[in-house]
């Protein structure tokens, strides 16, 4: 499995931005109130980012040569997939949070400041999930078998 590319993360963030902005626009155009993310969302996203890193920590220790730790390869693969999913989800929700902030700031009458701060907090929580996913992916990366092979493969 390859590590997540920056272009993929940017694409997910842009898609999330469009979905967040257009979703808010559709809600308000239909006469409903704008969506305000609850405080539990950024807290949960941050907690998930920390949990993903904690799950990947034993794999990092095993990869770095701690022979006392044996890691099941299937468990390591599952955690690597979880890390990748976390980074992609974090990018998508980061974009959606940014889209909500953009929508709220472009209104002629600004909503209460607490509403904007909750959307910003959601984007920050999603950024922490994204960072946690990328760190966990790095922890789950195996070093190359032969360093000379790695250098010649990039040439």
pLDDT of residue 155: 44
Are 115 and 35 a contacting pair, CB within 8 Å?
A: no
Buried b (16+ CB within 10 A) or exposed e, 81-94: ebbbebbbbbbbbb
Cα Rg, the chain, nearest whole Å:
19
In a domain, 64, yes or no: yes
pLDDT per position as a tens digit, 99-124: 999 999 998 887 888 889 999 999 99
Q: Is residue 45 part of a domain?
A: yes
Q: Is the pLDDT of residue 150 over 70?
A: no
DSSP class of 116: H
Residue 150, domain member (yes or no): no
Task: Give burial (CB, 10 Å; 0-12/13-18/19+) of 28.
Answer: middle
Asked if the structure places residue 148 within a domain, the reply is no
- For residue range 13-71, list pLDDT tens digits in order: 999 999 999 999 999 999 998 888 999 999 999 999 999 999 999 888 888 776 666 77
CA distances (Å), origin 13, targets 75, 91, 94, 95: 29, 5, 6, 4
pTM of the model: 0.86
Whether residue 87 lies inside any domain: the answer is yes
Helices marked H in 30-112 — which ranges? Answer: 40-63, 73-105
What residue has token string 């909503």? Answer: 111
The residue segments making up the domain with residue 53 are 6-142
Please tell me the predicted confidence (pLDDT) of residue 54.
Answer: 95
Domain count for the chain: 1
How confident is the model over 118-141, as pLDDT tens digits? 999 999 999 999 999 999 999 888
At residue 147, the pLDDT reads 59
The answer to whether residue 151 is domain-embedded is no
- 83 within some domain: yes
Predicted pLDDT at 4: 87
CA distance 67 to 25: 55
């Amino acid at each position: 499995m390859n590590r997540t590319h920056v272009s993929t993360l940017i694409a997910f963030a842009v898609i999330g931005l469009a979905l967040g902005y257009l979703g808010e626009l559709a809600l308000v155009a239909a006469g409903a109130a704008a969506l305000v993310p609850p405080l539990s969302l950024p807290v949960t996203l941050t907690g998930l980012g920390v949990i993903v890193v904690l799950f990947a920590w034993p794999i990092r220790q095993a990869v770095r040569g701690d022979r006392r730790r044996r890691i099941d390869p299937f468990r390591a693969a599952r955690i690597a997939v979880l890390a990748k999913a976390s980074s992609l989800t974090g990018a998508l929700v980061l974009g959606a949070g940014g889209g909500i902030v953009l929508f709220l700031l472009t209104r002629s009458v600004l909503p209460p400041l607490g509403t904007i701060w909750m959307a910003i907090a959601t984007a920050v929580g999603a950024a922490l999930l994204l960072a946690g996913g990328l760190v966990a992916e790095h922890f789950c990366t195996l070093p190359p078998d032969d360093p000379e092979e790695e250098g010649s493969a990039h040439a």
